[in-house]
């Protein structure tokens, strides 16, 4: 099978999946719309869901220090985008993605346990990985409690509280931070600060709740002071 558009592994909703760079798909389809307008319109019109059908994150451009948003879409979403383009390139891409899905299913079938012993070994590996995760969370718990105390004392604030203090909408606040290179969205959809802004503007808190774990970015007092001057 000729590779019309390369597949790239990404994590969507906690699962490792093969994805397509939407910018490369847009170029292949020869759409007359600019990429940003095209992808936003398609997402809105066909009700694609972030962290379910696609992920996006911000990429810093070295040439002019600008920030570019990259979209990576699932093979299923890529197939639908190709279909609705309604041209020869779209038909070609759709057939390509159908073949990609077939190949992926074949590979998954090959990786599935074929014997009782293999199934037991796979289960044992999953249990071991779960235990390692529990140990990691146990180690992180004292640090998490420390951050909780700072939050209770209003020394660290989340994005929603900080935006409210500034008298602006949370969405507008986040867009400012993203557009100006303070934070970025990782492959799991978490909003994280660039390393150059930690710890004086932001702190990153690890948390665990109801068997779910993750990270949360919090704004420091110096961060609030700095951002208040820039935004107000």
CATH number of residue 56's parent domain: 3.10.260
Whether residue 224 lies inside any domain: the answer is yes
**Residue 97's domain spans which residues?**
7-111
- Specify whether 80 is located in the same domain as 148: no
Give the number of domains in the chain. Answer: 2
- Specify whether 97 is located in the same domain as 145: no
Q: What is the pLDDT of residues 91-145, one digit of tens each?
A: 999 999 999 888 887 776 665 555 656 666 666 666 666 666 555 545 545 555 5
pLDDT of residue 113: 57
- Specify whether 96 is located in the same domain as 155: no
pLDDT at residue 198 greater than cutoff 60: yes
Q: What is the pLDDT of residues 62-87, one digit of tens each?
A: 666 677 889 999 999 999 999 999 89
Whether residue 171 lies inside any domain: the answer is yes
Whether residue 125 lies inside any domain: the answer is no
Closest by CA to 54, choosing from 64, 46, 63, is 46
Q: Which two tokens stand for residue 148?
A: 């909780």
Q: Which two tokens stand for residue 16?
A: 């490792």
Q: Which range (44-53, 72-81, 162-171, 181-190) has the least confidence?
A: 181-190
- Specify whether 103 is located in the same domain as 188: no
Closest by CA to 203, choosing from 221, 226, 227, 229, is 221
């Amino acid at each position: 099978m000729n590779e019309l558009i390369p597949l790239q592994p990404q994590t969507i909703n906690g699962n490792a999946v093969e994805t397509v760079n939407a910018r490369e798909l847009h170029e292949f389809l020869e759409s007359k719309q600019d990429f940003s307008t095209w992808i936003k319109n398609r997402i809105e019109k066909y009700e694609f869901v972030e962290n379910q059908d696609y992920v996006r994150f911000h990429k810093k451009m070295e040439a002019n220090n600008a920030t570019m948003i990259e979209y990576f879409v699932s093979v299923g979403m890529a197939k639908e985008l190709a279909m609705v383009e309604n041209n020869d390139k779209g038909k070609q891409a759709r057939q390509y993605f159908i073949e990609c899905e077939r190949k992926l299913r074949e590979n998954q079938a090959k990786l599935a346990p074929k014997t009782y012993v293999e199934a037991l070994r796979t289960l044992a590996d999953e249990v071991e990985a779960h235990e390692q995760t529990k140990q990691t969370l146990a180690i992180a718990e004292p640090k998490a409690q420390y951050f909780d105390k700072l939050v209770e004392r209003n020394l660290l604030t989340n994005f929603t509280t900080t935006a409210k203090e500034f008298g602006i909408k949370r969405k507008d606040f986040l867009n400012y931070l993203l557009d100006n290179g303070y934070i970025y969205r990782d492959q799991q959809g978490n909003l994280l600060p660039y390393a150059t802004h930690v710890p004086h503007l932001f702190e990153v808190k690890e948390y665990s709740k109801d068997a779910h774990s993750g990270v949360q970015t919090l704004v420091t007092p110096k961060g609030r002071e700095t951002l208040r001057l820039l935004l107000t």
